[in-house]
Structure 1
Amino acid sequence: MKKRVWGIAPHLPGVPMKNVGPAAALASLSLLAAACGGAESSPSGKPVEGGTFSFALAADPGALDPALAILGVTNTTLSLAYDTLVTIGSDGKVVPGLAEKWDVKPEAVTFTLRKDVTCSDGSKLTAADVAENVNHIADPATKSPIYGVLVPAGMKAEADEAAGTVTLSTPKPFSFILETTSQMFVVCGKGLKDRSLLARGTSGSGPYQLAEAVPSDHYTFQIRKDYAWGPNGATTKEPGMPAKVVLKVVPNEQTAANLIISGDLNSAVIYGADRKRLEATPGMGKFLMPVGNGQFFYHQGDDRPGKDPAVRKALTQAINLPELGNISSSGTGRPAKGLVQDPTPCRGDSVTGRVPAFDAAGAAAGLDAAGWKAGADGIRVKDGKKLSLRLLYITTRGAGPQAAAEYLAAAWKKAGVEVTLNGVIDTKLSESLYATQDWDVTWLPIGVTLPNQLVGFLSGPAAPKGGNFAHLKNTRYEELITEAAAKTGEEGCKLWLEAESALFENSDLVPVVETTVLVAQKGVKFDFPAATFVPTSIRMTEAG
C-alpha cells in the first residue's frame, strides 16, 4: 500500500513562486483541497463522555510550527490546537472564529477580535499576537513555505490594541482577502516568543493542547475545558466531545482499515481497495470527501497540436467523459461542476453545457477539417507530420491516473492519434511540466477552495518563466478574472464561474470527475473540511 500525504494549499494568483516553487505548488494542486463532503450515514447512539478519539495519520506530520507546515497531515494535526480568524461553513459562508466581526475591502480587511480568548498557557490573545503571526510568515528571513500560499504575498498586518482590531492589507486588490484567513493558524503565548517550542509542541488558542508527541508513532491531545470561542461561539462543554484525541501514524491503509474494524481506531481516510470493505461494515459512518477533480490539459505551445482550438475540440469530442470519469475514479467519483471544491464562497455549475459532448463522428470530421488526414496506418498526418500526443500523468496516485491515461490513449488511437504514455513520479512532475515540457496532454488532479488560487496556473507568463504550464492564453478568461479580482468574496463569484466556463468552452482544459475518498467514522462523527478537523464538531457515540 502506498502512503497518502496531503500537500499544502496552492500558489496564489499573480505571485512569483520563489518561496514554494513549481514543484511544491503543483504537488499541492494535486494533493490538497480535500473539501467537506456529506455524510451518507453516521454513527448513532448516545454520546460518550470523557472518551478518546483515535484517528490515523498516513504519515508523520513533522515539525509542528504552523509557519513552516507544508504537509496536509501537519495541518490536520495543527487544526486541533489552533484557531483561525474565521472559518468557512459547509454552505461556503464565512463564520466568526477568533474574530467576532470584520470590515472587508478589496485590498484590506479589519478584524475585531473576541475579548475572551486565551492561549493554552493561560495568556490572553491580543491583536498584536495576530499581527505578529502574519508578519512573521511574510518576513523573508522566516523562509515560510506558506508565504504566497496561505498568506498572500505582500500582505502586512497592523494591530490596534486599544480597539482590539487587526488589519491585514495587500499591495493591490485581493478578492478573497477575508476568506483566505480561514487557513491561517494563529500562534499565541509562549510559542510566539520562542518558536523553537513549536517543533514538537503546540501554543495555540484551540480546543485541544498537545500533551505527548512520539514521532512516527502517535500524537496525543488533551481537551481545554475552558474553551468557549469556537466557530459561532462553540465550546468544549458539549456532550460527547472527547477528553483526549490520539493521532496514530499508520502509513499502511489496509492496516488502518483493520484497526477501525477491530475497534482500535475510530477513523481514517481511505483511498483504495479497503474502501468498499469499510463501507459494508455495520455501524460505519460513510462520510464521502471530495479530494480534487480529475481533468486533462492541452499544451498550447507554438509547436503543439493543441495550439489549434479546432484540434482541442475534436480531441475532446473523441472522449466519452462520463465513462472516463467512472474509470478514473473506480466508480466512486461524481460529475465535475467546476474547478473549485466545497466549502467555497463561489458555488455553482460552470461545466454543464460548456464542454463538447462525446461525438466520434464529429471528432473525425473536426480533425479532417483541421487538415489532419488519416494515413495508410490509420494515424493522421498533416504537412508530413503525424498527429502525435505525449500524455503525461502521475504514477503515485493509485490506479486512477493510470486508468485515465490508458483510456484516453485508446480513445484517441481510434480517432487516428498516435499516443505515447509518459508516467512520472511526484518529484518529476514539475520538471516535466515546467522544464522539459515533454508533454502534449496531461492528466492533472486539482483541488482548490478559492477560484483565485488557480489564476497563476491558467494565465500569465508561460513556463518556464511563469506558472502557466499549459501556455494558456484565453482572453475572455483574463478579462473576467481581472473584473472579478476587484470585487470582494461572493460579489465576484458570478464572474469567477463565467471565467471557468470560458476555459471549458475553449477546450483549454477538460473537467472530467470529482474524486472522492471515504472518511471512515466508527463510534464518532465530525466535520473535516479541507482535511482539517473542526474540533468542536467531534462527538463520541456508543455503537448504534
Structure 2
Amino acid sequence: MHRSRFLAGASVVAAASLLATACTTGSADSPSSGDGKSGGTVRIGMTSDVTSFDPAKGAGATDYVITSLLYQPLLGQDDGGTFVAGLAESWTSTPTKTTLTLRKGLTCSDGAPLTASQVVASLEHYRATSAGALLTFGAANAGKKTTITGDDKAGTVTITTATPWGEVLTGLAGTGAGIICKAGLDAGAAALAQGAVKGAASGPYEMVKARRGASYELRLRKDYDAFARFSAQPSGRPADTLRIQISKNESTLANQLQTRALDLAPFSGTDVARFTSDDTYAVRSAPLIRNFIAFNQRPGRPGADPKVRKAVAHAVSATAFNKVFGGAGQVMTSYVDEKSACVSTDTSLLTATDPAAAKKALRGVSIKLEGSNAVAGGAGNSYVAEALRAAGAEVKLANADNATWATDVTANQGDWDATVFPLITGNLARGGAYFVGPEPVKGGLNYGAVGNQGFAANYVAATSTTDPGAKCAAWQKAQDALLKAHDVIPLATVNVHYVARNGIAFATPGGNLVVSTLRVTG
C-alpha cells in the first residue's frame, strides 16, 4: 500500500512532538569560544527517535530535522510559495522542463566537489525510493517519462517530463529531495538509513556522534555558505554544534525550558500554557495539522449522498472544533490554512452551522466516523461525533491510534464513512491529491473515491502550469468545486507553539520551522 508522508497518519505523533532546541554558551558541557563570534552549542530535544537517516525515506519529525541539516535541497520555499536559492543559485521552469544552475564551489562534507552529475544521481535515488517523488515529478511522469540530466562543466541540472507538471520546484524544495553526495550513494540505501555516512552530507552540518534512542551530535561544516536564502532569515551565528537529545514527552521539555536546560521548545499540548511572551520568552505559533472532514463516497455509503455531506457541514462548527483545543488554532476556509499559496479565503463557499437543517437529513443515518487520537486523545473526533449525534445521526466513533487510522482510511474499500482528516502539509497540490485520481486499489491516493470532475479538471490545470497567476486562478476554481460539493468540510488547525528564550532566533517560512535557519543572537 502506498502512503504519503503528507497526511498525519502513523507519523503524526512525531510531527506533533517536533523538536526542542537549546543554546548553551557557558557551561563545561557546551563551551563557547568566548569571542562573540561563535554560535556555541545548541541542544535539541525530541520526543521520538529517528526512523531513517535517508532523506528520501523520512517518516517523522525527527527524521526531517536531522536529514534537513545533513542534506541540503536545491531550493527553499518561502512565504507565499516563493522559491529561494539553496544549492541552486538560479533556475528556470516550464510545465515540462526545469533547469537549475548550481552555486559555484559546492562541496560535500569530506571536501570533495559536489557536481551536477552527483546531484542527478541523488535525485534519481529520490525518484526511485521516495513516496514524495510521486508529487514532485507527477504521477503521469513515473519511470522513464521523467529524464534528469546534468552538465558538470556548466553546473546545471535539467529535469524533463513527458506530461506537463508545474510542481517540480515545490518538490525539489522538500526535505525528502535533499541532496546526498556520492559517498552516501555509494554506501547504499541500507547504510544511509542506519546512520550518517562519512562524506555524504551536502548540508550545513555533519554528524559526529550517534547513540540511537539517546542522542546525536552534529557539527557545523567550516565555511559552509550554501544556506537557503529565506527572506526572514535572522541575523546571528549558526550553532557550532547541535546536540540532539531524545526526551520522553512535552512536559519534560517544558521543565527543561524553565530550568534553562533548553532555550527553544515547540509544544502542541497544554504545556505551552506555562509560557507567555515577556522579557524571558517569546511564543510563536504556526499550523501543525490542518483538520477537515472527508467522506468515503463509494456506492452505498452515506457520504455518497451530497445531501448527507451538506447536512454534516450544517451539524458541525469549525469554531467549536477549534475551542476543543483551547482556541489556539486557526479556523480554516479550505483544506489547507491561510498561510498556503493560492488558498481560498472565500467564506461564502462555506456552509453555516445550522443544527435544524442538519436534522432534516441526518436523523437515523448511520455513520462510521474514524479519526486519529494522536492529538489530545482524539478530542476533536469526539466533538464531531457528538455534533452529528445531536443532529440525529447514529454514530459509531473509532477513535483510533495512528497506525490503525492510517490503515483503515487508506485501505482499499476501507470500512469507514467519514473521517477527521489530519493533514500536515500546507500545499494545495499535495493535499489535493487525496481527492483526485485513482483509488488505492489502482495505485492512487483518492482514499474516499471522490469523483468531483470540476475539482479534477482544475487540479490538472493548476498543476500543469508554472505561471503563478494562472496557477492561483485554477486553484481558486478547484477549491470552489470541492467546497460547494461538500467533499471537504474545513475545521481548524492544531498549532505548534514555539517557545524561545532570548538569544535564539529562527525563521518559519510558510509557517514551517526550518531548523537550518536557527541562529544564536546573544
Asked whether the two chains share a fold, i.e. TM above 0.5, the reply is yes
Match of 1:194 in 2: 187
Pair 1:408-2:384 in alignment? yes
Which amino acid letter does the alignment assign opposite residue 201 of structure 1?
A: A
Q: 1:326 aligns with which of 316, 323, 326?
A: 323
Partner secondary structure for residue 272 of structure 2: helix
* 2: CA distance, partners of 1:192 / 1:343: 36
Tell me, yes or no, if the aligned pair for 1:391 and 1:419 is still in contact at 8 Å: yes
Pair 1:166-2:144 in alignment? no
Kindly state the Cα deviation for residue 193 of structure 1 after the two structures are TM-superposed. 3.0
Which amino acid letter does the alignment assign opposite residue 86 of structure 1?
A: L
Which amino acid letter does the alignment assign opposite residue 108 of structure 1?
A: K
Kindly state the Cα deviation for residue 423 of structure 1 after the two structures are TM-superposed. 1.7
Q: 2:101 aligns with which of 112, 122, 137?
A: 112
- The superposition leaves residues 55-97 of structure 1 with CA deviations (integer Å, 9 ceiling, x where unpaired) of 2122111432223333231111122222111101123211111
Larger CA deviation: 463-472 vs 72-81: 463-472
* 1: CA distance, partners of 2:11 / 2:490: 14
Kindly state the Cα deviation for residue 237 of structure 1 after the two structures are TM-superposed. 13
Which amino acid letter does the alignment assign opposite residue 70 of structure 1?
A: A
Match of 1:156 in 2: 147
Tell me, yes or no, if the aligned pair for 1:100 and 1:113 is still in contact at 8 Å: yes
Match of 1:298 in 2: 295
Partner secondary structure for residue 393 of structure 1: strand
Kindly state the Cα deviation for residue 410 of structure 1 after the two structures are TM-superposed. 2.5
Evaluate the alpha carbon distance shift between residue 278 and residue 499 of structure 1 in structure 2; reply closer, same or farther with a 3 A threshold: same
Kindly state the Cα deviation for residue 531 of structure 1 after the two structures are TM-superposed. 5.5
Match of 1:340 in 2: 336
* 2: CA distance, partners of 1:504 / 1:33: 30
Partner secondary structure for residue 445 of structure 1: strand
- What stretches of structure 1 of length at least 5 have no aligned partner? 1-17, 36-45, 373-379, 381-385
Kindly state the Cα deviation for residue 513 of structure 1 after the two structures are TM-superposed. 0.6
Match of 2:20 in 1: none
Tell me, yes or no, if the aligned pair for 1:317 and 1:357 is still in contact at 8 Å: yes
Kindly state the Cα deviation for residue 124 of structure 1 after the two structures are TM-superposed. 1.2
Which amino acid letter does the alignment assign opposite residue 459 of structure 1?
A: V
Tell me, yes or no, if the aligned pair for 2:71 and 2:202 is still in contact at 8 Å: yes
* 1: CA distance, partners of 2:195 / 2:287: 30
Match of 1:31 in 2: 12
Evaluate the alpha carbon distance shift between residue 260 and residue 447 of structure 1 in structure 2; reply closer, same or farther with a 3 A threshold: same
Pair 1:72-2:67 in alignment? no
Q: 1:458 aligns with which of 426, 435, 439?
A: 435
Pair 1:396-2:389 in alignment? no
- What stretches of structure 2 of length at least 5 have no aligned partner? 17-34
RCO higher in structure (CA 8 A, sep ≥6):
1
Which amino acid letter does the alignment assign opposite residue 460 of structure 1?
A: G
Alignment of 1:467-478 (within 5 A): 467-478=445-456
Tell me, yes or no, if the aligned pair for 2:6 and 2:424 is still in contact at 8 Å: no
- The superposition leaves residues 471-527 of structure 1 with CA deviations (integer Å, 9 ceiling, x where unpaired) of 211121112112223211624122113212211111111001122111222231212
Kindly state the Cα deviation for residue 342 of structure 1 after the two structures are TM-superposed. 7.1
Evaluate the alpha carbon distance shift between residue 269 and residue 149 of structure 1 in structure 2; reply closer, same or farther with a 3 A threshold: farther
Tell me, yes or no, if the aligned pair for 1:76 and 1:532 is still in contact at 8 Å: no
* 2: CA distance, partners of 1:452 / 1:33: 23
Pair 1:527-2:518 in alignment? no
Pair 1:426-2:430 in alignment? no
* 2: CA distance, partners of 1:505 / 1:272: 33
- The superposition leaves residues 280-325 of structure 1 with CA deviations (integer Å, 9 ceiling, x where unpaired) of 6751221212112111112222212222212221221122331222
Partner secondary structure for residue 409 of structure 1: helix
TM-score, length basis structure 1? 0.82
Pair 1:540-2:516 in alignment? no
Which amino acid letter does the alignment assign opposite residue 148 of structure 1?
A: L
Kindly state the Cα deviation for residue 352 of structure 1 after the two structures are TM-superposed. 1.5
- The superposition leaves residues 240-260 of structure 1 with CA deviations (integer Å, 9 ceiling, x where unpaired) of 332111111113211111111
* 2: CA distance, partners of 1:23 / 1:158: 27
Alignment of 1:248-327 (within 5 A): 248-279=245-276, 283-327=280-324
Evaluate the alpha carbon distance shift between residue 192 and residue 462 of structure 1 in structure 2; reply closer, same or farther with a 3 A threshold: closer
